[in-house]
Amino acid sequence: MNANFKKTILIDLDGVLNTYTGKFDEKVIPPIKEGAFEFIKNLSNNYKVKIFTTRNRLFASEWIINNKLKEYVDDVTNIKEPSFLLIDDRCINFNGNYEKLQNDIDNFQVWYKQEYT
């Protein structure tokens, strides 16, 4: 394998990298979330980082440039491309057990709506 090869990680924009809390506006991408810049910068040392979003690709690319992430992000896509990992705020990890999966689906809450006790 090529020594320069990096595995790809797809990272969702809304709710992961920005302060999105469920109120979608196609004309406004919320501000970058605290810690996201450092996270992407560090991740890019070992992985090819692609932003995965349903937003307009050019608009999302502008957000990346405005937040000084351009040198750390390889691309913006709305296609689930082959990747090592997908990081999203609306995902459930399938562990091979459909009963647990059904329970996880029925009780799912996005992280910013969860109640912590």
* Each residue's pLDDT expressed in tens, for the chain with a length of 117 residues: 576 899 999 999 999 999 998 899 999 999 999 999 999 999 999 999 999 999 999 999 999 999 999 999 999 999 999 999 999 999 999 999 999 999 999 999 888 887 654
Task: Answer yes or no: pTM beyond 0.75.
Answer: yes
CA distance to 29, 44, 99, per residue, from 23 (Å): 10, 29, 32
Token pair in block for residue 7? 């595995």
Q: Identify the pLDDT of residue 117.
A: 43
Q: Identify the pLDDT of residue 115.
A: 66
Q: Identify the pLDDT of residue 116.
A: 54
Pairing of strands 75-77, 85-87: unpaired
CA torsion through residues 40, 22, 117, 103, sign: negative
